[in-house]
Amino acid sequence: MTCYLLLHNRNGEYTLWGNELEKYRTRICERVDLMRDRSGYICDRSEIGQRPPLQRVYSSATFEQLLTQVCQTWPQHTRNLRQPKTWPESFCLGEDRQPAMPSPAARKVDFMQGRLPPTLMPVMSSVDRETRQLQLLLVMGVDDSLGGVIRLNGTLYPAFAVPSADNRHLVISALTDKGLRYAGYGVAVNHDADSHISPAPELMQFHLKTREAPLFAAVNTPEKQPDHLFRSLGFNRTW
């Protein structure tokens, strides 16, 4: 669990442990590639005085497996789901958690297919009151990601969502025929304009590119959700 760095240069390979990194701060100025866990955290080429971009790579095969489970569990709501004819090999997200073109280092990542939760865990959903059509459904995915479906301009698409770096909002993207596309973001409802009492942590407000009005989604069985989920979604408190 200790942080360390493998340094490759003309002298060969050298391992720098956490307490040694500070001594080499002015010397490490060559290429640095960092990878972490199943998601594949990437730190691309580093230049002196610049902070390298951080990208995440996710296995689309794992997401497709999760989507299959969602469709099998809620067939009445997902029968008209529009899926791409060809799935990409992976999803690459930038520092803003929006879809990004993979860097040269990200293209070389030999990421492992992540392990999904043993049981399908619904996180939040939204249903139109008049049409009773499903607008949004997200379930727990690999690591901090969520997967499911989202309706944009009347069409239901596969949805992939991850918390922002500061855990202030949830960035959601839709998988279309043109690949993964940014769809919008959701924020936790932490304040009630009609009351001085903070509302219970169970509603999120989504601002989507195809909707003028916000879309509200309710957290599924909030009393059963883990505390870290509320914090990652931007709630001020847990259930």
Give 36-82 pLDDT, tens digit per residue: 444 444 444 444 445 555 788 888 889 999 999 999 999 999 999 99
Question: What's residue 49's pLDDT?
Answer: 45
| Entry pTM | 0.77
Amino acid at 131: T
In DSSP terms, 216 is beta-bridged to 205
Question: What's residue 76's pLDDT?
Answer: 94
Question: Cα–chain-centroid distance for residue 31?
Answer: 27
Q: What is the rounded average pLDDT of the residues 16-41?
A: 55
Query: Cα separation of 130 and 132, whole Å?
Result: 6
Question: What's residue 53's pLDDT?
Answer: 58
The percent of residues above 90 in pLDDT, for the chain, comes to: 54
- Who wins on pLDDT, 35 or 8? 8
Question: What's residue 135's pLDDT?
Answer: 97
Shortest CA distance to 147 belongs to which of 173, 176, 166? 173
Is the per-residue pLDDT at 110 higher than 70? no
- Who wins on pLDDT, 133 or 43? 133
Question: What's residue 193's pLDDT?
Answer: 85
Q: What is the rounded average pLDDT of the residues 194-204?
A: 91
Query: Cα separation of 109 and 220, whole Å?
Result: 35
Question: What's residue 16's pLDDT?
Answer: 76
Question: What's residue 227's pLDDT?
Answer: 94
Question: What's residue 108's pLDDT?
Answer: 67
Q: What radius of gyration do the chain's Cα atoms show?
A: 20
Query: Cα separation of 222 and 204, whole Å?
Result: 12
Rounded to the nearest integer, the mean pLDDT of the chain is 84
